[in-house]
């Protein structure tokens, strides 16, 4: 081989060694957010303190500064706030950051509309939204819609506490409250009546949850984050929690999806509005990767059993169904249920898809599908 070819091959090797494994800049794992206000995703024209944010955002995610503004024109933005809380800002809207500390995050919606999705409430984190004369504290996981003209809130799921002057008002799921002028009163609304921002927020949340499973599975397992000296998040199977961060109650970067996702503190959380779920490492193991227990059928001939992967006549491979089982037929128990929401058991090794859950969403996979559009 000539010296020229040796030099060329050496150069190619060095270039390849310096690139991310996927060959994409987006697969480089950023630093876990240490404060609120990280702009994680945009569509269209979005400005941060009057500077146009490049679209798409790749690897370097700008932060909202205290006193700074995020403004959308014909665009939308997704902003990571406290662990477990994501804001999504609609078109022709302006959001001002008052304080960006996790322990006390305060923002003001001065124009347009925004949604808030809160996956998990942590006692050391606080989130307050100011809009016109109202100060709103979100006190429960759920999905919320804020609008500035006329100022108000819709609580699709969850619970909010609103202070307007000397009034302190609790707004529960299925209720709305307008802030502008006079005496504020809580009214019912139809949760099925969603707008374009609600539906976009639901689709984005679905993608974030789809990225969760593989992120949770690999978090601390020599994957995206190494937890020395143990190599995997500590915890007891079925206990509902693990004890190491950032594999509990934190945002985590998934290089396969090139997006941020959330790793909950509790074993699993299923969104009651859209139906998708989030898992921590132990939850992902329990629901997706842990081999299912197998039991013998004590019922003898003709006993109807629930069998996995179609062991009997008329069943569909890879599904849960009933079949007439003979003696010694081996059946698998379904996955246990932890956390909020209800879900169907997912097959072992299901990858990054989210479990199916009751509510507005249907079965959710990595490619999307559940929820209203």
At residue 349, does pLDDT exceed 60? no
Q: How confident is the model at residue 214 (pLDDT cuts 50, 70, 90)?
A: confident
Give pLDDT, residue 225.
40
| C-alpha to C-alpha distance for 149 and 40, rounded to whole angstroms | 26
Q: How confident is the model at residue 97 (pLDDT cuts 50, 70, 90)?
A: very high
CA nearest neighbour of 263 among 290, 282, 238, 289: 282
Tell me which of 76-90, 121-135, 209-223, 299-313 is least confident.
Answer: 299-313
Residue-wise DSSP of 152-195? EEEEEEEEEEEEETTEEEEEETTEEEE-SSS---EEE--TT---
| C-alpha to C-alpha distance for 115 and 31, rounded to whole angstroms | 25
At residue 160, does pLDDT exceed 70? yes
| C-alpha to C-alpha distance for 274 and 370, rounded to whole angstroms | 7
At residue 361, does pLDDT exceed 80? no
| C-alpha to C-alpha distance for 6 and 320, rounded to whole angstroms | 57
pLDDT tens readout for residues 288-346: 877 777 777 666 555 544 444 333 333 333 333 333 333 333 333 333 333 333 333 33
State whether residue 285 is helix, strand or coil. helix
pLDDT tens readout for residues 15-28: 333 333 333 333 44
At residue 103, does pLDDT exceed 80? yes
Give pLDDT, residue 321.
36
């Amino acid at each position: 081989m000539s010296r020229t070819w040796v030099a060329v091959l050496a150069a190619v090797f060095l270039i390849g060694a310096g690139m991310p494994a996927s060959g994409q800049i987006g697969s480089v794992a950023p630093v876990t957010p240490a404060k609120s206000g990280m702009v994680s995703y945009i569509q269209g024209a979005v400005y941060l303190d009057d500077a146009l944010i490049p679209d798409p955002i790749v690897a370097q995610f700008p932060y909202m500064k205290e006193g700074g503004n995020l403004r959308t024109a014909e665009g939308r933005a997704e902003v990571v706030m406290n662990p477990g809380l994501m804001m999504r800002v609609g078109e022709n809207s302006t959001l001002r950051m008052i304080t960006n500390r996790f322990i006390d995050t305060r923002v003001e919606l001065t124009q347009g509309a925004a949604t808030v999705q809160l996956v998990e409430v942590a006692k050391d984190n606080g989130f307050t939204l100011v809009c016109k004369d109202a100060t709103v504290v979100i006190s429960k996981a759920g999905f919320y819609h804020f609008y500035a003209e006329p100022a108000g809130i819709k609580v699709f799921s969850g619970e909010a506490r609103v202070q307007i002057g000397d009034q302190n008002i609790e707004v529960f799921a299925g209720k709305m409250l307008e802030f502008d002028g006079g005496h504020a009163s809580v009214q019912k609304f139809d949760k099925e009546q969603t707008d374009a921002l609600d539906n976009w927020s639901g689709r984005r949340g679905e993608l974030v949850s789809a990225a969760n499973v593989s992120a949770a599975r690999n978090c601390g397992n020599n994957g995206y984050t190494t937890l020395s000296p143990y190599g995997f998040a500590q915890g007891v199977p079925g206990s509902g929690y693990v004890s190491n961060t950032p594999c509990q109650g934190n945002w985590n970067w998934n290089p396969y999806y090139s997006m941020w996702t959330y790793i909950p503190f509790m074993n699993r959380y299923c969104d009651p509005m859209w139906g998708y779920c989030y898992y921590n490492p132990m939850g992902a193991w329990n629901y997706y990767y842990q081999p299912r227990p197998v039991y013998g059928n004590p019922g003898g001939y003709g006993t109807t059993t629930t069998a996995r992967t179609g062991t009997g006549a008329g069943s569909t491979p890879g599904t849960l169904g009933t079949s007439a089982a003979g003696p010694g037929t081996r059946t698998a128990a379904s996955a246990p249920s932890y956390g909020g929401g209800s879900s169907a058991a997912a097959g072992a090794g299901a990858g990054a898809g989210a479990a199916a859950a009751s509510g507005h969403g249907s079965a959710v996979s990595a490619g999307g599908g559940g929820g209203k559009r």
